[in-house]
A = this chain, B = another copy of it.
Amino acid sequence: MKHLLTMADLQPEEIHTLIDEAEGFSKGAIWTPLRQAFVSNLFFEPSTRTKCSFEVAERKLGLEVIQFEASASSALKGETLYDTVRTLESIGVDAVIIRHPADQYYDELIEGCRIPILNGGDGCGHHPTQSLLDLMTIRQEFGRFAGLKVAIVGDIRHSRVAHSNAVALKKLGAEVVFSGPQEWFDENTNYEPIDRAVKTADVVMLLRIQHERHERHSGISKEDYHREYGLTLEREKLMKPGSIIMHPAPVNRDVEIASILVESDRSRIFKQMENGVYVRMAVLKRALAHKIGGRYHEAFAEKRAVAR
């Protein structure tokens, strides 16, 4: 079963293969399954980017998207996630994409369910398609991971992106350092003060601050956070030539990052979103090709042949 649950499940070769596939899709490759295929996006938390991005990816692959609204589902009648997925499987859904507030919600699913589960984010845990699109964006920029320094700035503990990315980046040969309010890190973290991190990194990867939560606990205001740990206009000037800014979005403008930098030359924030569609096409193809087969379309096959 070709689930995609965490980045830890993927070997470096598999990561590169998925990014290769995604690059093909970004260049216009067209692949569709051999028969009408159905998927459903089960989002139990708010999302625009991930949900819409999966839906665009699904439509580009010619899949039928069965609408599921968590807020109008039988989950309200107490149905478990397991029974919901088994139900969708029974009515012919070929794969499900799930975002859920519970860490590792998939543990209760993988034994009994017979369709691939693609993790669209679990609690404070994992978000593998976000990691893959981040990796794709970095590889596009630098052509490699080995020797790169990536600074991840923000609340690592509550971020399902940070941990997955750190694991994958190290596995692929990059150096990863963390920055932000020091009390958010423990002793084992590879910590660097923000100014040094910004100055030396090839990639400054900012995380979204769930400000409501932190203000209550730490008393740091948005303005203070921005001045002390955010990517201000001044700090951006310290960045190395050729280095880039990334952020999984949604961005708190003028908190993690000065608003004007979001659409600056260094920013790859909207490029990340674009790549997200291609990465999701790749993981959907991986999940479905295994089960029901599929084919590249002639127009594209020809184009490829000509290109050789």
Establish whether residues A59 and B66, one from each chain, have CB atoms under 8 Å apart when the complex forms.
yes
Establish whether residues A40 and B52, one from each chain, have CB atoms under 8 Å apart when the complex forms.
yes
Residues in B whose Cβ lies below 8 Å from that of A48? 68, 73-75, 79, 84, 87-88
Establish whether residues B86 and A270, one from each chain, have CB atoms under 8 Å apart when the complex forms.
yes
CB-CB contacts of A48-87 with B at 8 A, as 1s and 0s? 1101110110011000111111111111111110011011
> Which residues of chain A in 238-255 are interfacial with respect to chain B, using CB atoms and an 8 Å cutoff?
249-253
Establish whether residues B53 and A38, one from each chain, have CB atoms under 8 Å apart when the complex forms.
no
Establish whether residues A71 and B68, one from each chain, have CB atoms under 8 Å apart when the complex forms.
no
How far, in Å, is A258 (CB) from chain B's closest CB?
15
Give the number of copies in the complex: 3
Residues in B whose Cβ lies below 8 Å from that of A83? 249-251, 253
Establish whether residues A56 and B91, one from each chain, have CB atoms under 8 Å apart when the complex forms.
yes
Complex Cα–Cα for A87 and B53 (A): 9
Most chain B beta carbons < 10 A, residue from A51, A77, A251 = A77
Complex Cα–Cα for A55 and B65 (A): 9
Q: Say which one of A2-10, A102-110, A186-194, A273-281 lies at the interface with B.
A: A273-281
Establish whether residues B92 and A73, one from each chain, have CB atoms under 8 Å apart when the complex forms.
no
How far, in Å, is A92 (CB) from chain B's closest CB?
5
Kindly state whether residue A90 has any CB partner on chain B within 8 Å. Answer: yes
How far, in Å, is A255 (CB) from chain B's closest CB?
10
Kindly state whether residue A43 has any CB partner on chain B within 8 Å. Answer: yes
Establish whether residues B49 and A36, one from each chain, have CB atoms under 8 Å apart when the complex forms.
no
Complex Cα–Cα for A221 and B270 (A): 52
Kindly state whether residue A46 has any CB partner on chain B within 8 Å. Answer: yes
Establish whether residues B49 and A74, one from each chain, have CB atoms under 8 Å apart when the complex forms.
yes
**Beyond A49-B91, A78-B250, 7 additional pairs, beta carbon < 8 A:** A36-B59, A46-B73, A48-B75, A52-B91, A71-B71, A74-B250, A92-B277
